[in-house]
Chain A
Amino acid sequence: MRATTPQQDLLRGIWRENPVLVQLLGLCPALAVTNTVANSLAMGLATFFVLLGSSILVSTFKTWIPKQVRISAYILIIATFVTIADLVLNALVPEIHKALGAFIALIVVNCMILGRQEAFASKRPVPRAILDAVGTGTGFLVALTMIGGFREVLGYGTFLGYPVFGSSFEPWIIMILPAGGFFTLGFLLLGFAWWEERKKERIRPRRWIHGVTHEVGGTV
């Protein structure tokens, strides 16, 4: 088990190990319900709630749950929180609940959530599990909101329902169709990978020989 600091537990899920943009987990909701920012926020918050609640319970009861039935117990805990999220969304924001459809129930099978329980919450104390869940949940929320913002601005010409272009703007309908989700995710992954590569290039040690820079380890 790799030792990490509490700060790392909190921050790594937001950017360096972002569940959507780096680990490519939870892509079904990331593609299916992100045609508007409001839908993306609702799905992101629902997943955040389920991840946080499940992590707290799994970490609290980790010594009580026998290893042989741990996955069943984790799924039971996750399904309970998903059902609660489904009912609360339906009661408080029925329009958004209608727009998200079956994808709220499908949070149960989001491998990101089960993965965090098995890999982290079941092995760490509650405060660390909370930090990890908050970080990972925030990373998922950020990624979904980025995809949703991009698609809504181009697909509807609005952001959170407010127009951002003039009346002459012709909406790109493809951006609110499933294909638009794939395009947006592809471009975001490309941009993210490019950014990471650029950062690595910047910190790679170089040496100066005969007026020319050479990478350490390369042929001079």
Chain B
Amino acid sequence: MSERKLPMAEPGDGAPPPPVEVEVSSFRLVGTLTVAGAIAGLAIVLIFQWAQPRIEAYQAMVLRQAITEVLGGPERYETVFLDSDGAFKANPVADTTGLDRIYVGYNQADDPVGVAVVGAEAGFQDVIRLIFGYDPGTGNVLGMKVLESKETPGLGDKIEKDSTFIREFQEVATLIQGVKRGRESGADEEVIMITGATISSKAIIDIINHRVAALRDPIDSYWSSPAVMTTGGGS
């Protein structure tokens, strides 16, 4: 089999010159990306330093509004942490980062009105994060507000938009039982679920029930301790 040679362009015959492959040292390749990465990192750090206080301030405002809403407008609130010994403390021994926490609300007379608890579990589409008010004296939920959810628009998102459903969680006894509309018996622990969003409704009820079941004992202990009356300080 004879070997075929591709026609070669001769210099000066009008053909475009072949692309010139410039030899670049590995040092320059690595150096280029290193310098670019360093400049990119510096730019991101500068923007982050500007943005972070604003982001944290917004998150704190959202939390403050949510606590106010689920505890019926307390005068102030105090954050207490679940310490490594299983008790809630305002000033735990352990580092507070990552510790479970609740927010104790106080009225104008500085009497405790309830605690706000944050919980999160899987919903229909993604994790639902909510906060609810809980009265350890009666064992009732005082109110509920969804903080984050990506439930189906128009259906599942009614868990945060349907005011009738949200009102169901005011002064409801724990542990909550979800019932379909038309099957309610009038029991104190019943919540009527949203038609067409049963999984999302049930997820809300489960989050509250699981958090109450897990924290009821330490909350009750803290609630009956002198600490709850003597925390002082502002929110």
Contacts and interface: CB of A to CB of B under 8 A. Distances in A.
* B partners with A: yes
Given A88-B51, A101-B150, A173-B155, A66 B28 contact: yes
Interface string B1-43: 0000000000000000000001010001100110011001001
Contacts of B229: none
Interface string A135-160: 00000000000000000000100000
Contacts of A94: 55, 58
B51 A73 contact: no
Given A91-B55, A94-B55, A94-B58, A80 B150 contact: no
B192 to A, nearest CB: 21
A113 B50 CA distance: 26
B33 A87 contact: no
B51 A90 contact: yes
A50 B221 CA distance: 54
A73 B29 CA distance: 10
B22 A67 contact: yes
Given A68-B24, A73-B32, A92 B54 contact: yes
Contacts of A76: 33, 36-37, 40
Given A68-B29, A69-B29, A177-B153, A80 B50 contact: no
A94 B55 CA distance: 8
Contacts of A88: 47, 51
Interface residues of A, number: 28
Contact of A177 (B51, B54, B55, B154): B154
B235 interface: no
Contact of B154 (A66, A79, A92, A171): A171
A72 interface: yes
Nearest to A172: B154
A72 B33 contact: yes
Contacts of B164: none
A79 B51 contact: no
Contacts of A176: 153-154
A36 B148 CA distance: 19
**SS class, residues of chain B in contact with chain A:** helix
B33 A80 contact: no
B99 interface: no
Nearest to A74: B36
Contacts of B150: 101
A65 B32 CA distance: 7
Contact of A84 (B43, B152, B153): B43
A92 B43 CA distance: 18
Interface string B41-57: 00110011011001100
A172 to B, nearest CB: 9
A177 B40 contact: no
A3 to B, nearest CB: 16
Contacts of B33: 69, 72-73, 76
Contacts of B32: 64-66, 69, 73
B23 to A, nearest CB: 10
Indicate the member of A65, A84, A88 with the most B CB atoms within 10 Å. Answer: A84
A122 to B, nearest CB: 14
A84 B47 contact: yes
15 contacts: A66-B24, A67-B22, A69-B29, A69-B32, A69-B33, A76-B36, A79-B40, A80-B44, A83-B44, A87-B47, A87-B48, A90-B51, A101-B150, A173-B155, A176-B154
Interface of B: 22, 24, 28-29, 32-33, 36-37, 40, 43-44, 47-48, 50-51, 54-55, 58, 148, 150, 152-155
